[in-house]
Amino acid sequence: MIKTEQLTKRYQNHLAVADLCLDVRAGEIYGFLGPNGAGKTTTIHMLLGLIRPTSGRLLVFGEEIGPGDFAFKQQIGVVAEEPAESSQMSGWELVRFFARLYGVERPGPRMEELFHELDLWEVRHGLARDYSRGMRQKLSLIRALVHRPRLLILDEPVSGLDPHGIRQVRAIIDAYQQSGGTVFISSHILSEIEHSANRIGILHGGRLLVEDTMEGLRGRLARQQRLTIEVEQVTPALVERIASQPYVVQVQQEGRQLALVLISQEDVRARLSRVISDAGGLILKMQGEEMSLEEAFVTITSQDALALAGHTGAP
Amino acid sequence: MMQISTSMIGKLRSSPAVWALRWRVACEIARQELRDALYSWSFYLTAALGPLLSALFVYNSLNFVANSGLQILARPFFVPVLLTTTVAALYLTAWAALAIARPRDQGALRVLFFAPVDEYGVIIGHILAGTILYAALLLVAAPLLALLALLTNLPLPPLLLLGMVFSPMYAAAAVALGLWISTVAGSSRSAMFFFGAILLATLVIPIGYTALLSVPATGRYYDALLFLRGLVRTLRDLLSWISPYALISSGLDAALRADWGDLLQRLAVGAASCVGWGLLAIWGLKRNGVLS
């Protein structure tokens, strides 16, 4: 459905996206995950032809997208990160305007269905620019779905929504996928997409660190664990010695306590005890705890991410 | 609903299909822009301003006739019609100068480009909307001018009305000029500054030329201002062909003189100017993009 080959975008001295190789398959929900500034929105803008890639190839619906191509967007629905409406149109008129741009001749019944589903029916004649952020987000989703696209691109689709709105949007996305649609969701919050995404790609610093199924990703991330060690005296040499261990991703010191993030499939506590003893440290307490998927994702994208990419064998 | 298969995407790259899509987009954008403009107070203010200025001018002319005892007033409605058409064209240039820059500032242009639209469809749609708005302004003004003619018993020549009928061609060029300003400006504020600067240049050059004519030569055999005079005259001549406002004036004049050759020439220049500025606007939009 979407395929990118060595897609790169460079802005003078800043590399926004580097050698990105994505493969979004038909009928799946693909979660495009990464912290703010990772290059997600830049990638989406390149997919839509809003900015031109510096290099690389981009294929949508199996056809290469070149400069000036725009007809392919008839089969795509897009929800922007910050929905902006500035015209004098009501919510209803705005969606009808876009429906006409997409070539929908009688959009009324579909619009009615979507406005009801997202609780905007009562306010449909209000000015779209006066809607709250959450309402504008829902309106963007209606606009994106009115022409029954084959591919739905969502950039942070639930930002600004209350919990009820989040549930409504998730239900619509799930129903859309079940009807055969393909969804490409970009988010910086794993929990937003972990329930619905079939596969996930994690982007960091413009590079794709991991691309895997949700189960595969859970397996990779589950190798991470948090360990809290209390020692009699913490010295810089001890911290340095611990941090130099290959299975230690992160060390944080707080008084006599050391909070470690480890990545290993084995139990490394005995090895770590020896390292501390060899460095002259005396362990008072050692406590391990499992990391949530969210915590593990944050660790991946904030600490030593590229090293982890090498470790996991990601492209 | 139009369903498109993957193989159709390849087909849509072919020129007629792409142009059909662009035309549909242009019509939708034009319809939307017309609707938005008709909801704004500035349209009605402009519709009122042209006839108001015309009425003031005619009133002033009649006063002059009464005070001076002048028996013949040549082309009494030429300047009022010129004022009305120029005010409308200036309004639409300013409108066009904001048409791309403002939604780009607000992020709405990016959202528009999520749909199957491209630079051609957007620019053509705006030129279409601007030209129709100009025609609407003239439709409001023409009966008021006729009423003014009736009240003052001054002749409103049919040839001048014919000149007005053709003037949307020059207005289209003015709209395209505004769109070019809008696409190359970094923001809506700089677009308005740019528009102001262009407007100033179109005023300063003819006024400067007239002012230079009134300055005598600096010596019997030598004129230190000769080069400057030549330069300003060349600029003025150039402006009379490329400025849409100058085209409105010369086009009305040609119609009133029933000089059909000159009128056709002016119309052709107006059309070429519209295409030229339109292509530059498309280039500007492609170059600067749709993101703020």
**DSSP code string of A268-309:** -HHHHHHHHHHTT--EEEEEEEEPPHHHHHHHHHHSSHHHHH
The pLDDT of residue B113: 94
Q: Is residue A36 part of a domain?
A: yes
Q: How far is A298 from chain B (nearest CA, A)?
A: 29
* Residues B39-64, mean pLDDT to the nearest whole number: 91
Q: Is residue A218 part of a domain?
A: no
Query: What is the rounded distance in angstroms from the CA atom of residue A208 to the CA atom of residue A40?
Result: 10
Please identify among residues 113-152 of chain B the ones whose CB lies closer than 8 Å to any CB of chain A: 113-118
Given B1, B35, B113, which is nearest A104 (Cβ)?
Answer: B1
Higher pLDDT, A35 or B11: A35
* Residues A300-313, mean pLDDT to the nearest whole number: 49
Q: Is residue B107 part of a domain?
A: yes
* Residues A78-95, mean pLDDT to the nearest whole number: 82
Residue numbers in B near A98 (CB within 8 A): 115
Q: Does B81 have pLDDT greater than 50? A: yes
* Range of A213-217, B103-107, B201-205 with top mean pLDDT: B103-107
**What is the b/e burial string over A133-161, where b = at least 16 CB atoms within 10 angstroms of the residue's CB?**
ebbbbbbbbbbbbbbebbbbbbbbbbbbb
Query: What is the rounded distance in angstroms from the CA atom of residue A127 to the CA atom of residue B73?
Result: 52
Q: Does A188 have pLDDT greater than 80? A: yes
Confidence of residue A32 (pLDDT cuts 50, 70, 90): very high
10 Å CB burial of residue A245 (0-12, 13-18, 19+) is middle
Query: What is the rounded distance in angstroms from the CA atom of residue A242 to the CA atom of residue B116?
Result: 56
* Domains held by chain A: number: 2
A227 shares a domain with A204: no
Residue numbers in A near B28 (CB within 8 A): 97, 100-101
Q: Does A103 touch chain B (CB under 8 A)?
A: yes
Q: Is residue A254 part of a domain?
A: yes
ipTM for the predicted complex comes to 0.85
A138 shares a domain with A10: yes
Residue B272's domain spans which residues? 15-288
Q: How many CB atoms lie within 10 A of CB A122?
A: 9
Listed in sequence order, the residues at least 6 apart from B26 whose beta carbon sits closer than 8 Å to its beta carbon are B120, B121, B122, B124, B125, B128
Q: Is residue B9 part of a domain?
A: no
Summarised one tens digit per residue, pLDDT across range A155-169 is 988 877 888 888 888
Round to the nearest angstrom and report the end-to-end CA distance of chain B: 33
Please identify among residues 17-46 of chain B the ones whose CB lies closer than 8 Å to any CB of chain A: 17-18, 21, 24-25, 28, 32, 35-36, 39-40
Summarised one tens digit per residue, pLDDT across range A268-278 is 888 888 888 88
Cβ distance B9 to A61 less than 8 Å, yes or no, reads: yes
A242 shares a domain with A204: no
Query: What is the rounded distance in angstroms from the CA atom of residue B44 to the CA atom of residue A130?
Result: 24
Cβ distance B35 to A88 less than 8 Å, yes or no, reads: yes
A18 shares a domain with A126: yes
The pLDDT of residue A290: 63
Chain Cα centroid distance, residue B144: 21
Q: What is the CA radius of gyration of chain A?
A: 23
The pLDDT of residue B7: 47
Cβ distance A50 to B291 less than 8 Å, yes or no, reads: yes
Q: Is residue B83 part of a domain?
A: yes
Q: What angle do CA B251, B255, B256 make, to 5 degrees?
A: 115
Under 8 Å CB pairs connecting chains A and B tally to 100
Q: Does B46 have pLDDT greater than 60? A: yes
A183 shares a domain with A38: yes
Given B35, B107, B116, which is nearest A73 (Cβ)?
Answer: B116
* Domains held by chain B: number: 1
* Mean residue pLDDT across chain A: 85
Q: Is residue B26 part of a domain?
A: yes
Q: How far is A63 from chain B (nearest CA, A)?
A: 8
A206 shares a domain with A171: yes
> What is the enclosing helix (H) or strand (E) of B103?
helix B101-106
